[in-house]
Chains A and B, each alone.
Chain A
Amino acid sequence: NAGVMQNPRHLVRRRGQEARLRCSPMKGHSHVYWYRQLPEEGLKFMVYLQKENIIDESGMPKERFSAEFPKEGPSILRIQQVVRGDSAAYFCASSPVVYSDRNTIYFGEGSWLTVV
């Protein structure tokens, strides 16, 4: 059973470039969550998507960041015009139904973005 797959695992971008991070949820999971982990900090919620819908993007910066989860293919977190402060680990998680106390969420191994 393949887990949550994220790629690239490591990405280096120069300031001003675009970063695209991809997440393929576990088979049968249609709910995807993105979290960001800054150095020496815990994870912070960014966005929750279902297939073709953004359900909650309250944790995502209003500018430069966008996310999608198309009908076919992986979920994509897109960061335009990256700045040094975007350097972080970005984790994707998935669940078969909306995540709650009654079920389990599964995390990918993360994409480490470094902005130089």
Chain B
Amino acid sequence: TQLLEQSPQFLSIQEGENLTVYCNSSSVFSSLQWYRQEPGEGPVLLVTVVTGGEVKKLKRLTFQFGDARKDSSLHITAAQPGDTGLYLCAGLMDSNYQLIWGAGTKLIIKP
């Protein structure tokens, strides 16, 4: 059983559409992070959210941490082919050093 459930597992949409990826848990996290991973490469940190209800924006990407710090979402506006990749959420519990990972959302943006 995954401690962090990501949905959808796979998403293929047309360029210009909007999308939201979810990361849910029944456990509380002290912080949640979103990473992007390209094939054959390591995960690259996009953002860290720490405070319940926090919203962070990175150009067309909006990240939100749930009020109860059990879930997070990533919203992409006007998706572009360059957004194609595997998006992973990961969290720390009780500020422990072990990152707990979701299984990822494979995103394909078609031109």
Contacts and interface: CB of A to CB of B under 8 A. Distances in A.
A42 B42 contact: no
Give the bracket for the number of chain B residues in contact with chain A: 20 to 34
A98 B41 contact: no
Interface in B80-98: 88, 90, 92, 95-98
A45 interface: yes
A57 to B, nearest CB: 12
Contacts, number: 61
A98 B97 contact: yes
Interface of A: 4, 31, 33, 35, 40-45, 48, 56, 59, 91, 98-102, 104-105, 107-110, 112
A42 B41 contact: no
B66 interface: no
A100 B95 contact: yes
Given A42-B2, A107-B43, A110-B42, A101 B50 contact: yes
B90 A43 contact: yes
Given A107-B42, A107-B43, A109-B42, A45 B103 contact: no
Nearest to B50: A101
B96 to A, nearest CB: 8
B73 interface: no
* 7 residue pairs, one from A and one from B, having the closest CB atoms: A42-B101, A101-B31, A107-B42, A99-B97, A109-B42, A43-B101, A45-B98
A101 B48 CA distance: 9
